Amino acid sequence: MNGSPSPPEPALSTPLLAASGIFKHFGDFTANDDVSFQIEEGEIHALLGENGAGKSTFVKMVYGLLQPDAGSLEWRGEQIAIRSPQHARDLGIGMVFQHFSLFQALTVAENIALALPGDESLEDLAARVRQMSTDYGIGVDPDARIHNLSVGEQQRVEIVRCLLQDPSLLIMDEPTSVLTPQETTQLFEVLRRFSENGVAILFISHKLEEIRSLTRRATVLRRGRNVGTVDSASKSSKQLAEMMVGGSVGDIDRQARPDSEPDILFEVRGLDRPPTTAFATPLRGLSFAARAGEILGIAGIAGNGQDELMEALTGEWTGRGRDVIRIDGRDVTADGPARRRQCGIGFVPEERNGHAAVPGMTLADNALLTSHSLGGTVGRGVIDSAACREMAAAVSRDFDVRLPQDNPMASALSGGNLQKFVVGREISKRPKVFIVSQPTWGVDVGAALFIRRAMLELAEAGSAVVMISQDLEEIFAISHRVAVLHDGVISTPMVTAEVTAETVGLLMGGSMPLDGAPDMDKGEAGDTA
């Protein structure tokens, strides 16, 4: 793109919130560099940027969690220092965070009561919740317990809890990341009603098509600086992405699934897993297969058995029986993670900090963690430190991991760069089977494109990829077939090109029975591909 885009003409009325020349430093790092921003009453305004662009830092200052080092904030035309989240709420600023803060064993009303001042009775509060649900069409039962609610319903609880504090500005951080298309549509209808009633909404998301459909204006941050405020609908998703990264982003070219049936490299037959905790989801008779050269996407809303399935596939949990899980025809049902890696499987769990990588260890040591049983990094019981450093450097180079120094601690990397490292660490071994959960969760558009291309290239080289993802855009972008996991049961895999996002969304939400999914790819008895 040539130069920064010209922002829309400023409104004549006094903005609800105006930020001027905001700076925020963390040591030598500048998180916000002369950021200016305005939002009007009743406006739905997007805040865009890559991971590390300064979005979170900026909204934390608006919400009183951080204080700017320089610059000013104005609320309804008056300069103000927002000292704390409580001060922000008193002013009329509310925030719904990406990760919910709800107590699973409590009711909706009990959770909401914990966030409100005063001593209002639960009965009176429940009545207010029902009235708000009616007024805005949110659909929240104050007597329901949180652990019985879907993710979309839990998000509504967070919104109602925020709205009962009567905000004039509602900040929403990645609100659709775990929602079905139908739930996203319902959420947008609610947000538009808020806007019509004068509530301003600051909407943070990586889903650019949603930004274009919902918001009026979008402000883009890049490396801490404001690079432009544009009319959302007038820009394509690609143009917005290029503003975010400062260059061309290219396109993902998924190859068509071959007409012939390649060899099955990974197979699950009748996997059962009883719940291990009070809130765990039991797995019931899961069967599916992944073939050489394809990406099999497993879609589902969080809490429907994804964690339990991932643990079973990687060997962190091993059940009884034989021939339940097979890699290239070999029974690995009773094998743990190290043995499964030796059989040709690589895997990346959802949580990169503490599960996929150890934050307090260097990248070289993190490379060792998943390669010690494969040879090349340990000989005669002695760690080859030079080989580990060389492996970490090669992964960082090949997967564009941007390092603050040579062989840093994993904790020194941004979320997107750490994700590229843990994905690259596995893909660089060229596994026969690659299993990944939420591969681009919480990463920016540039890192997400890089990771998705790497997965496609691995499949095109002949590996089978099983991708567990809550992101339907991702599922439809790179998977050749898609199955849906709901309440511990999996659907028959469907050819992605022959099914709609609406159908998959209905299956994810439980609005259609899983056995009602079109059986587009029947095989032999053991082949549920």
- Amino acid, res. 241: A
- Any bridge partners for residue 264, and if so which? 291
- Rounded Cα gap, residues 194 and 136, in angstroms: 8
CA 450 to chain centre: 16
Phi-psi region of 132 (alpha: psi -120 to 50; beta: other; left: phi over 0): alpha
- Name the CA radius of gyration of the chain, rounded: 24
Instruction: Tell the residue number behind the tokens 């009026």, with chain if given.
Output: 216
> What is the average per-residue pLDDT within 193-204?
93
Contact criterion met (CB below 8 Å) for 245 and 50: yes
Cα separation, 122 vs 110, whole angstroms: 7
- The residue written with tokens 């809490």 in the block is 303
Same domain, 411 and 452: no
Q: Do 448 and 418 have their domain in common?
A: no
Q: Which of 198, 225, 248 is the last residue of a domain?
A: 248
* Residues 239 and 311 placed together within one structural domain of the fold: no
Based on the fold, state whether residues 426 and 471 are members of the same structural domain: no
Specify the higher pLDDT residue, 127 or 516.
127
Q: Which residue has the tokens 């709800």?
A: 102
**For residue 22, pLDDT beyond 80:** yes
* pLDDT value at residue 166: 85
Region 347-363: what's the mean pLDDT?
Answer: 91
Confidence of residue 36 (pLDDT cuts 50, 70, 90): very high
**Same domain? 8 vs 130:** no
Band of residue 525 on the pLDDT scale cut at 50, 70, 90 = very low
pLDDT exceeds 70 at position 518? no
Pairing of strands 200-204, 44-48: parallel
Give backbone dihedrals phi and psi of 326, rounded to 5 degrees, phi first.
-130, 135
Q: Are 85 and 190 in the same domain?
A: yes
Given 203, 231, 248, the domain boundary residue is 248
- Determine the pLDDT at residue 187: 84
527: buried, middle or exposed (CB in 10 Å: 19+, 13-18, 0-12)?
middle
Say yes or no: 339 and 366 in one domain. no
- Whichever domain contains 189, its CATH number is 3.40.50.300
Structure tokens at 166: 């009567």
**167 in Cβ contact with 201 (< 8 Å):** no
| Shared-domain flag, residues 200 and 81 | yes
- Whether 416 and 518 map to the same domain: the answer is no
Same domain, 441 and 529: yes
The pLDDT of residue 509 is: 80
Q: Tell me which of 430, 463, 482 is where a domain ends.
A: 430
Structure letter (DSSP) for residue 406 = S
pLDDT one-digit tens code per residue, 421-478: 999 999 999 999 999 999 988 777 778 888 999 999 999 999 999 999 988 888 999 9
Handedness of CA 217, 222, 224, 227 (dihedral sign): negative
* Cα(247)–Cα(222) distance, integer angstroms: 11
Q: How confident is the model at residue 392 (pLDDT cuts 50, 70, 90)?
A: very high
Average pLDDT, the chain: 87
379 and 339 inside one domain: no
Question: pTM higher than 0.75 for the full model?
Answer: no
Residue 106 belongs to what domain range?
99-164
pLDDT value at 516 more than 70 = no
Q: How far is 427 from 72, CA to CA, in rounded Å?
A: 47
Does 81 or 414 have the greater pLDDT score?
81
Written as six digits, the tokens of 484 are: 């849906």
Report the residue count for the chain: 529
Look up residue 360 and give its two tokens: 């307090």
Average pLDDT of span 350-373: 90
Please answer whether residues 365 and 388 qualify as being in contact, where contact means their C-beta atoms are separated by less than 8 angstroms: yes
Q: Are residues 68 and 4 in the same domain?
A: yes
**Tally of structural domains, the chain:** 4
